[in-house]
Amino acid sequence: AAAAKMHDYLNQLVEAYAPAARQGRVATYIPELAKVDPDGIGICVRTAEGLYCAGDAETKFTIQSVSKPMALILALMDWGPDKIFEKVGKEPTGDPFNSMIRLETHEKHKPFNPMINAGAISIAAMIKGDSTAHKIERLLGFVRKIAHNPNIEIDQRVYLSEKETGHRNRSIAHFLRAMKNFDQDPDEVLEVYFSQCSISLNCSDLSNMAMVLALDGKCYVTGEQLFPVEYAKIAKAYMVTCGMYDGSGEFAIHVGLPAKSGVGGGIMAVSPGQMGIGVYGPALDPKGNSVVGIKMLKALSDTYNLNIF
């Protein structure tokens, strides 16, 4: 009965908020993203009881910045927190995700946090591997494992589209290299970054990843610890303070969940200990966050009392 209720509720959410997609716009700065249906809307909730989905739950989209907490956790496993915090800070910026203004003003030219592009590029340089291809393989493998889906692939069209037009990210990477944040070839680091952003998945994959974070790294099927509890806590702390970029404060007040958005339209949100949530809606607000995604998360948080504060 509870399952049927959750399912009905999610269907109602999709129906109620679908028209709100018109308040947003799909990302166009990556040309391939401009081609998606702006009216897409989907939600999946993973609990201990099962998976509940509504709307375009099967529709694939690129993970974009939702990859950032995952890459961070892998880099933490590769190096440990001390080394990672030498490269990226722990503070929100209040600036847009692709901003670089604080890179120059920071005394050590260190990205403020790993949820903005600069910090994520710095983290991409920390992923271990024998070659660029191997680093990408490791990151993709990690996402597949946490999402419990071995079929997740990289969308080559989006990857090429980002690579061709990513001049801003290129400038960030070269600036970080100039400031010795890393010593690899910046273009190779960007290959890793553009590839991780182009991982193609759906809402249920996001809800599965969120459930693992909700359980502090534990697999909800086998109980296996997939990554250390401490790293789950670091990722969730960053998600609360920086996961929605310069909309993180507002999101914390109105929704109150650790979450990470991406310009592909996905948001991964975590209800600690109990729920993993994935939402999709490619029409974005001016900060690059899914309009219908935020609305559905707010409603879900209100209805089920999920606000962690």
Spot the catalytic one: 14, 17, 36, 65.
65
Q: Which of 279, 278, 274, 281 is nearest to 306 (CA)?
A: 274
Bridge-based pairing state of the strands 153-154 and 266-271: unpaired
Instruction: Report the alpha-carbon distance of residue 21 to residue 88 in Å, rounded.
Output: 34
Give the nearer residue to ligand GLN in terms of CB position, either 137 or 285: 285
Options 162, 205, 216, 246; binder of ligand GLN; rule CB under 6 A: 162
Residues 276-307 as b/e (b if ≥16 CB within 10 A, e otherwise) read: bbbbbbbbbbebbbbbbbbbbbbbbbeeeebe
Binding mask 269-298 for ligand GLN (x = CB under 6 A): -------------------x----------
Give the nearer residue to ligand GLN in terms of CB position, either 13 or 252: 252
Clarify whether 108 is annotated catalytic: no
According to the binding rule CB under 6 A, does residue 65 interact with ligand GLN? yes
Binding mask 86-115 for ligand GLN (x = CB under 6 A): -----------xx-----------------
CA distances from 86 to 135, 154, 237 (A): 21, 30, 18
Spot the catalytic one: 193, 231, 238, 280.
193
Give the nearer residue to ligand GLN in terms of CB position, either 64 or 301: 64
**Contact predicate 203/215, CB 8 Å:** no
Q: Is 164 annotated as a binding residue?
A: no
Clarify whether 263 is annotated catalytic: yes
Name residues whose C-beta falls within 8 Å of residue 250's C-beta, 6 or more positions apart in sequence: 244
In a 13 Å sphere around the CA of 82, the CA atoms on its Cβ side amount to 0
Clarify whether 65 is annotated catalytic: yes
Please report how close the Cβ of residue 272 comes to ligand GLN at its closest, in angstroms: 24
Angle at 38 between CA 35 and CA 43, to 5 degrees: 120
The contact set with ligand GLN (CB under 6 A) reads 64-65, 97-98, 117, 162, 169, 197, 262-263, 288
State the catalytic residues.
Answer: 65, 68, 193, 245, 263
Return binding residues. 65, 117, 162, 169, 193, 245, 263
